[in-house]
A and B are shown apart, each in its own frame.
Chain A
Amino acid sequence: MKQFIRGIAENNHYQPTHLLQILRQIQAHYHYIPEAAIEQLSELLSIPRTQIISVVEFYSFFHLTPRGQYELLISDSITDHMLGKKILFDYLANKLGVAAGEVRKDGVVSLDNTSCTGMCDQGPAGLVNGYALTRLDRPAIDKIAELINQQKPLNEWPSELFHVDDNIYKSGLLLDRQIEQGAALRSAFKRGIKETLKEIDNSGLRGRGGAGFKTAIKWQFCSEEQQTERYVVCNADEGEPGTFKDRVLLNSYADQVFEGMTVGAAVIGAKQGFLYLRGEYLHLNNKLQGILDQRRRNGLLGSNILGSGLDFDIEICLGAGAYICGEESALIESLEGKAGIPRNRPPYPVTQGYLGKPTVVNNVETFLAAAAIAVNGGDWFANIGTEKSKGTKILSISGDCDRPGIYEYPFGVTIRTVLNDCGAADVQGVQVGGPSGTFISNQELDRKLAFEDLATGGSFIIFNSSRNILDAVHNFTHFFAHESCGFCTPCRVGTSLLKKQIDKIVEGHGSAGDIVALEELCQLVKNYSHCGLGQTAANPILTTLERYLGLYESHLKEISFEPGFDLDGALETARRMANRHDASAHLAQTESEHE
């Protein structure tokens, strides 16, 4: 082991910033992070062992105790559930003889749930040793169980298990035509870098991650910073359940995304860029490395790019299963090899980002658009969309519709149009912008997708009238409780309390006061949390309470209060150990039952 770890550390130049990448390799090799490896890394990287342990414990894909040689994770997104995930999961668990969260006795396989893997258009989905599995059904599971029991190496598994489709059903301004490799850079250099920034400014391009900050202003702020060491970061930590557009962009439009990053580097004067790729998209890594190599060979990355004097290169860093790393300051922490805990803002990353240096962090789609704007000019983009939301938005559509996949629309499109295009019938509601966004009912289908009305990072999950909305709320609330980074109390404790309270209501233990308590708790978590995760974690509850209060109330009991847990069940262990069978060894769930 010593040799192996030393080798990895050496390949990573003993840089603590590479800790995540190092741990990923150790986890992949040993299926956990052995104590001895931590000790050795602590010495090799000159960082305390506790710091390494904190990173291991923070990320879902790292483990301090051994997982199976085949680490199976099944996506727990609501969209997977709508496709029958639960029954399949039980079938799989049964087939393999291993329970959720456990490692089989022979150590061959472990099974667990994981947050949305970004395959909502082709679920139920999962991961095996980090590689995406799609369209799981009984035959596929039979096959997987067989392969695992035969201990077949992953590279001998049939490729259809790993097949990922793009599913682009509607293309527009950006997806219609990919720019020619190098075209954006040539245009930018020809036009002049300042003028190119002006074009991006004129285009009205706003950040595509959801927040919608104007891209040109961000780039300009960064370029005006005193410190000359600057960085460009592409945020491909697409973790919002229901979002998968970046997966498609990086599968089929990556060259243009890298080109957009390089244009950004030219504008702000950066020498180094990073693509922070969510761990769930490991299957894209080799392809992306190949494209980077090709760009280097073609003089589009490296030193003196296209003879312009610009030196710039891009490194791909993989995440390890943490939704919070999609928050830009948490992402930067993660890039630095630390736990992804959001920083205080200000200072914003444009002034103090990666290693404290000015850094531009943008979404994959933003860089894609920036490259196209560098070629086609600002007006080309600004002529489309609405007054405050220029251009197009790429949507990831999933849930109850005939054609789940990728759709590109000019901003300002109505929900109704989108629903018609993807073949959604009998719609009850739509989750716009993922769990952190808004749930709208079928009374609001004329609302528009735009920063002026419904802002979105691209997630669009459709629910037809056969669905119970509370199932979705329940799923999303559990998601946030799982993904809270634990830094601030309102979010760490609050999201768990929300989970408990929603469980209580969904499981039928709620009474009138519980809705009031739930709403108060929502406001507390929303208003007092440190970052966007906590501030939006209550959105699934708040936006559905507003629209479907009757649905919540229908789950309530008439009595004034009932405990949210099984009181008599809570005595079971003590009863068994004390060997008690008398009446006083039992408790009624409510007082009235006593009398």
Chain B
Amino acid sequence: MSWQKTAWLVGAVAIAAALPFFVYPVFLMQAMALAIFACGFNLLLGYAGILSFGHAALFGSAAYVCGYAAKAWHLPTELAILCGTAASGILGLVYGILASRQRGIYLAMITFALSQMIYFICVQAPFTGGEDGLQGIPRGTFLGIVNLSQSLNLYYFDLGVFVLALLLFWRIIESPFGQVLRAMKGNELRTVSLGYDVDVLKLVCFAMSGAFSGLGGSLQAFALGFASLDNVQWHVNGDVILMTLLGGLGTFFGPVVGAVLVLSIQNYLASLGGIVTIVEGVVFATIVMTFRRGLVGELQPRLGRLLRAWTRRGAVEQASVDIVPGAKQPTDVAGSRSVA
């Protein structure tokens, strides 16, 4: 089984490495940034069952912090990304402290209010450039060696960060911590009765979710070379929910697929002229009605069944093939012996 997983992984990495020669690299970088953002959101909603409606601020403010660190403080790219990630992690913690004792619509409203506060700070604060945005963020170098101003170089750098982030995310959700999060989503009171401190769990979850969102925001800032108010605006709160739901809530790859889908609609249908938002709405309605658990949520089990059926058939054939030479072998051996 393990060699199959390795084969999948190697195949996926090979495809990802070849992709920028077919698809525009800046688009791919933005897709990866949004995918990490959606994963962070999925940790909260899909695994812990907490609906935040204020993740735009975590994503967008990281883009500003990271961009400002690179532009004004001349920090190297890696450090600037860490700055953005850490800032959003802390902001996520603040979200958690203020909101995690509430639930349902109240929690959504508090997080929404917080994100609007951050939005207005970004509108007013001098370092964000207001409506003009923070422009001309230098992409810098990787470890002072690789020049990241080449889109292809930055793509491979981002790909590395993306794979590491996904592995980390996998590690988190498959750890005992992730199990407890799922338990909390299922039945919070019972989780408390088992001796877990739910409040602390939620805080940690908020901080982690914030950090992932911040990492996404930072990567986007470098990919595009600017940070703008669009990233902290309220509609991004909805966009990230859209991505997560389209892909599949609580599935590992769901948010990644959702992010790519939403970004593709926004970018590749732009030439249709004025009906992008309508198409987005139709796609959303269709998927919600026909794929209740999102694209990955519905397709993954079916694909899995298909794959299992296929491998089982393969195994049966293999077995039958084995039997025939197996049956022949002794006679052969016997024959050779007899010859000898």
* A and B are interacting partners: no
